[in-house]
Chains A and B, each alone.
Chain A
């Protein structure tokens, strides 16, 4: 492992693994908020969406009928918090009949490229996801 020095100390590679559907429990919202807090403390943050977790990134979510906060808008803040790595497992999407076009178009604005909007989400295979998990220093499951 190579360690980078930053103002606050060592930067670790945090991977937040999200496996649950968004609105049946607090896990998804808490996972997202904890990841943003990690990012605010300038850690190297990556998000992984596997199994039912891929539902979290579906576009056009509407929670009005279940009376809970529609926190899916908060995913769009990931870019503002300088998170650049959002991985979605292809097999999980396919087995649930979700296409890439069904996902929220998450972007970040590249400050060094005249604020050009660039895509944040990478769809990866299960094998690639294993490598991503292997490379993390700290893994948090939600």
Chain B
């Protein structure tokens, strides 16, 4: 599978996750979200950027429970809860946000 952004084609796996981390850009993230019918707001970006930093530091995409706890610590309890995160990412916060962040599927997510 692949995704086309501004005339360039990027390889993805069968679930739409980027095959190469290095292909990621803001435009790719926006195109992926558009395909899902999701308009990325500042609140979405906060989570996507957090995931990119997490991956940079730990070399894995965190499972949803780990993400929720870490967001709570970083951005406050009103954001570190399932309700808030599922409202932003209805397909599953870790899965969907990791996809837009250009990361592989979260470790602990099957």
Contact = CB atoms under 8 A, between A and B. Distances in A.
A40 B65 contact: yes
Given A40-B65, A80-B70, A74 B108 contact: no
Interface residues of B, number: 15
B62 interface: yes
A40 B69 CA distance: 12
A71 B59 contact: yes
A81 interface: yes
B66 interface: yes
Contact of A80 (B59, B66, B109, B110): B66
Contacts of B69: 80, 111
Contacts, number: 44
Given A80-B66, A80-B70, A37 B59 contact: no
A37 B107 contact: yes
A86 interface: no
Contacts of B65: 40
A13 interface: no
Contacts of B107: 33, 36-37, 40
A39 interface: yes
Contacts of B34: none
14 contacts: A33-B60, A36-B60, A36-B63, A37-B63, A70-B59, A73-B57, A73-B58, A74-B58, A74-B60, A76-B57, A76-B58, A77-B58, A77-B60, A80-B58
Interface of A: 33, 36-37, 39-41, 69-71, 73-74, 76-77, 80-81, 109, 111, 115
